[in-house]
Structure 1
Amino acid sequence: MPDLQLFWSTLLTLFVILDPPGLLPVFLGLTAALPARERNRAALRASLVAIGVIAAFAIFGRYILDYLHISVEAMQVSGGFLLLLVALQLLMGAESGLGETDGTNVAIVPLGTPLLAGPGAIVATMLAVNRAGGPVGYLLVAAALAGAIALVYLFLRFAGGIRLLLRDSGTVLASRIAGLLLSAIAVQMIADGVFGMIAAH
Structure 2
Amino acid sequence: MSALFTQAFVTLLVIFDPLAAIPVFLTLTRHQSPSGQRRTARVSVLVAAGIVTVFAVAGKGLLDALGISLQALQVAGGALLALIALDLLKADCARDRATAESGGVAFVPLGTPPLAGPGAIAATMLYVEKAGSAPAVVAVALALAAALLLTWLTLHFSPFIGRLLKDNGLNLVTRIMGLLAAAIAVELVAGAILHWI
Q: TM-score, normalised by structure 2?
A: 0.68
Contact 2:56 2:125 in 1 (8 A): yes
- Paired with 1:12 and 1:187, the residues of 2 have a C-alpha distance of 17
Shift in Å, 1:24: 3.5
Shift in Å, 1:149: 2.5
In structure 2, runs of 5+ residues without a counterpart are none
Shift in Å, 1:107: 2.6
- Paired with 1:142 and 1:178, the residues of 2 have a C-alpha distance of 25
TM-superposition CA deviations, 1:71-124 (whole Å, max 9, x none): 233223322333344455552746232342323313311222245x33222322
* Residue equivalent to 2:101: 101
Match of 1:23 among 17, 28, 31: 17
* Residue equivalent to 1:78: 76
The number of residue pairs the alignment matches comes to: 186
> Is structure 2 residue 121 aligned with structure 1 residue 118?
yes
> Is structure 2 residue 40 aligned with structure 1 residue 47?
no
User: Structure 1's 162 and 94: CA in aligned 2 closer, same or farther, altered over 3 A?
Assistant: closer
In structure 1, runs of 5+ residues without a counterpart are 1-5
- Paired with 2:23 and 2:123, the residues of 1 have a C-alpha distance of 23
User: Structure 1's 46 and 11: CA in aligned 2 closer, same or farther, altered over 3 A?
Assistant: farther
- Paired with 2:54 and 2:180, the residues of 1 have a C-alpha distance of 28
Match of 1:178 among 161, 174, 178: 174
Shift in Å, 1:164: 1.3
Contact 1:14 1:148 in 2 (8 A): no
SS at 2:117 equivalent: helix
Q: Report the identity percentage.
A: 25
CA-atom RMSD in angstroms: 3.7
Contact 2:74 2:122 in 1 (8 A): yes
Match of 1:189 among 165, 178, 185: 185
* Residue equivalent to 2:196: 200
> Is structure 2 residue 161 aligned with structure 1 residue 162?
yes
SS at 1:17 equivalent: helix
Amino acid at match of 2:150: L
Q: TM-score, normalised by structure 1?
A: 0.67
Shift in Å, 1:194: 4.9
